[in-house]
Chain A
Amino acid sequence: MKYKFPSVEWINKVRELLNESESYQRSAKDWEGDFIFVVEPDEAYPHTSYLHLELYHGSSPGAALVNEDELPETEYSLNAPFSTWRRVIEGKLDPIQGMMTRQLKLKGDLMKIMRYPKAAQEIVSCCADVPTEW
């Protein structure tokens, strides 16, 4: 089965894979701080979408596709155009290199996230493991 990106089904599948990942559970065991992934419009996708991923102590208690007027307050946001997200999820762009070259824009407590590089990589790895329909 394939999951359309971005959708509530897609982000819930990421959540499910994260909760099955022993590597994530151990590398993020002290982590507290939710993420909003912002999918920005480009020539391939005309909308702005917001995917909310709750993250707490090595697991993901919840995930949702949210509207702009219902955006929860989160500690982090990661913004990129749709086509950049596609390159990340398809493994064509390393997300950390994407952030370093500002193709993906990360906002939040960067000092904290620098202590959890492996956990961040595991989240992206789970995203890449979701069979995705574009």
Chain B
Amino acid sequence: MWHFVSPNIVFGEGALNSLEELIGKRALIITDNNLVQIGIAEQVTSYLIKAGFDIQVFDEVEPDPTTQTVIKGAAAASEFKPDWIVGLGGGSPLDAAKAAWVLYERPDLQPAEINPFIKLGLREKSRLITIPTTSGTGAEVTWGIVLTDAENQRKMGLGNRENAADIAIVDPVMAAGMPPRLTADTGMDALTHAIEGFICTWHTDITDGLCLNAARDILKYLPRAYEASQSDNPDQDHYKKAREKMHNAASCAGLGFGNAMASIAHAMGHTLGSIFHLPHGRAVGLLLPYTIEFTAQEAPQRINKLTAALGIQTPEGKAGPALASHIREISRAIGLPGNIADAGIEESEFVSQLDKLVDDAFNDTQMITAARTPSFEELEHIFKAAYHGQPVDF
């Protein structure tokens, strides 16, 4: 027995217009200050004002939001008493919105208590809308929440099926202006979701199709979306199509892995990103080829299936290296680092944090669904290989 959870997804160009039909009195928008500064938040509020809403904006969400930030967001909600909370942004504001919503509904809980084993009893005070402004995180459709425990420099995997959004508005217009680096980082995040959702041990018949379709579209359209982000004329049809395909694929990958799980690249990426402040998508995307090579050595079945379905040419018994190599090519094409050293991390810093990297990755929630579970020593070797850019052959 298992569950498949999804919001009502309104998608495609013009999806934002659906906000005009929303019924309610007060909406709290949870976002980051940058999206307020560049006018994206105003785009959203204009629709809500037409629908007759009083609006308040909480724009204090930082990258990798902390538990303290979501407590402040929940306090803002308690004061304003919204009947809708609107998460607007990339993964950080969307996860912060989910957590702040739970705490607004359940002020007796601490952020770290938001877990999948309890009944939350949400939707007594308000409901949640998520609007992604990047094409990658999938947080608009998932129930998982990643918050940072600032004191211990550790990301915490939290969430409960109940805290999935009621409505996700996936309008490509919202992500059309993403700059190159953000396009690349978030696109690799989506690719990692799609691939790890397919190869993890919790994959299901229902999630497989979503992950596979997302992986196929991302491999095809991410380089073009990246090109669009650098173009003087990004409104050309083929660029707009690439942007829209990436936006939809990110949500598909979110639905896929969000109802299965991720795997080793996410477990390692969470800790790498948390300690060295790398963007999430860059961290997991950088590690993905290495973890595929590792997994394929002893648990190649799902990787074989995925590689065949994606039409990647593979010599007999070499699906893992072929898929890893294909991902490295895409990564190079969109200007991302292929190893940890190239991501700008000094070797002495890396070595001094290696024990913490290994310990935290080993106890990350995404590690429990790895098709091949590494030992501590193996995990350390994967980190070292990823630092130096050496293929994993053990």
Chain A positions near chain B (C-beta within 8 angstroms): 22-23, 26-27, 94, 96-97, 99-103, 106, 110-111, 114-119, 121
Q: B376–A26 contact, CB under 8 A?
A: yes
Would you call A22 and B365 a contact (CB within 8 A)? no
B2 touches A99 (CB 8 A): no
Please state if B368 and A117 are interface contacts (CB–CB under 8 Å).
Answer: yes
Residues on B with C-beta less than 8 A from A27 are 359, 362-363
* A contact residues around B363 at 8 Å (CB): 27, 115-119
How far apart are B156's CB and chain A's nearest CB, in angstroms? 7
Top 8 A-B pairs, shortest CB-CB distance: A100-B116, A111-B112, A118-B363, A111-B113, A121-B368, A110-B115, A117-B365, A99-B117
List chain A residues, Cβ under 8 A from B2: 97, 101
Taking CB atoms and an 8 Å cut-off, the chain B residues in 148-205 that contact chain A are 156-158, 161, 201-202
CA–CA, A99 and B1, complex, Å? 12
Identify which of residues 117-168 in chain B touch chain A, using a CB-to-CB cut-off of 8 Å: 117-118, 156-158, 161
Give the residue of B3, B156, B367 whose beta carbon is less than 8 angstroms from that of A118: B367
Q: A26 to B157: give the CA distance in the assembly, Å.
A: 20
How many angstroms between the C-alpha atoms of A23 and B358 in the bound complex?
A: 12
A39 to B56 alpha-carbon distance, docked (Å): 51
A/B pair count, beta carbons within 8 Å: 57
Residue numbers in A under 8 Å from B1 (CB-CB): 101, 103
Q: Assess A114 versus B112: contact at CB under 8 Å? Given A22-B376, A96-B368.
A: yes
Report the bound CA distance from A111 to B365 in whole Å: 13
Query: How many angstroms from the CA of A103 to the CA of B1 in the assembled complex?
Result: 9
Task: Enumerate chain A residues within 8 angstroms of B112, measured Cβ to Cβ.
Answer: 111, 114
Q: Most A CB atoms within 10 A — which of B117, B118, B364?
A: B117
* A110 near B118: Cβ-Cβ < 8 Å: yes
Q: With a CB–CB cut-off of 8 A, which chain B residues contact A94?
A: 201-202
- Flag whether B110 is at the interface (Cβ < 8 A): yes
Q: Which residues of A contact B113 (CB under 8 A)?
A: 110-111
**CA of A22 to CA of B117 in the docked complex: distance in angstroms?**
28
Q: Which residues of A are found within 8 Å of B233, using beta-carbon distances? A: none
Set of chain A residues within 8 Å of B3, measured between Cβ atoms: 101
8 contacts between A and B (CB under 8 A): A23-B376, A26-B359, A94-B201, A99-B116, A106-B117, A110-B113, A114-B157, A119-B363
B348 on the A face (CB < 8 A): no
The reply to whether A111 and B110 contact each other, CB–CB distance below 8 Å, is yes
Indicate whether B375 reaches chain A with its CB closer than 8 angstroms: yes
Residues of A within 8 A of B156 (CB): 114-115
List of A residues within 8 angstroms of B364 by Cβ = 117-118
Query: Within the complex, what minimum Cβ distance (angstroms) separates B233 from chain A?
Result: 48
How far does the Cβ of B114 sit from chain A's closest Cβ, in whole Å? 9
Residues of B within 8 A of A119 (CB): 363
Q: Which residue of chain B is the closest to A102 with respect to CB atoms?
A: B117
CB of B205, distance to nearest CB on chain A (Å): 15
Distance A111 CA – B110 CA, assembled complex (angstroms): 9
Min Cβ gap B285→A in Å is 23
Q: Residue on B with the closest CB to A25?
A: B376
Chain B residue numbers with a CB within 8 Å of A117 are 157, 363-365, 367-368
With A97-B202, A121-B368 in contact, is A111–B375 under 8 Å at CB? no
- Tell me the nearest residue of chain B to A100, going by C-beta: B116
Assess whether B362 is in contact with A114, with CB atoms less than 8 Å apart: no
Q: A117-B364, A117-B367 are in contact. List 19 more A-B contacts (CB 8 A).
A: A23-B362, A27-B363, A94-B202, A99-B117, A100-B117, A101-B3, A106-B117, A110-B113, A111-B110, A114-B115, A114-B157, A114-B365, A115-B363, A117-B363, A117-B365, A118-B362, A118-B364, A118-B367, A121-B368
Name the residue on B nearest A114 (C-beta): B115
A114 CB contacts on chain B under 8 angstroms: 112, 115, 156-158, 365
Residue in B118, B158, B362 whose CB lies within 8 Å of A26: B362
- Pair B368/A118 contact, Cβ less than 8 Å: yes
Give residues of chain B (1-56) contacting chain A, Cβ–Cβ below 8 Å: 1-3
Q: Which of B342-394 contact A (CB under 8 A)?
A: 359, 362-365, 367-368, 375-376
CA distance A117 to B116 in the complex (A): 12
Contact residues in B for A100 (Cβ distance below 8 Å): 116-117, 161
CA distance A100 to B156 in the complex (A): 17
Chain B nearest CB, measured from A8 CB (Å)? 28
Give the CA-CA distance A106 to B156 in the complex, in Å.
20
Question: Would you give the shortest CB distance from B330 to chain A, in whole angstroms?
Answer: 31
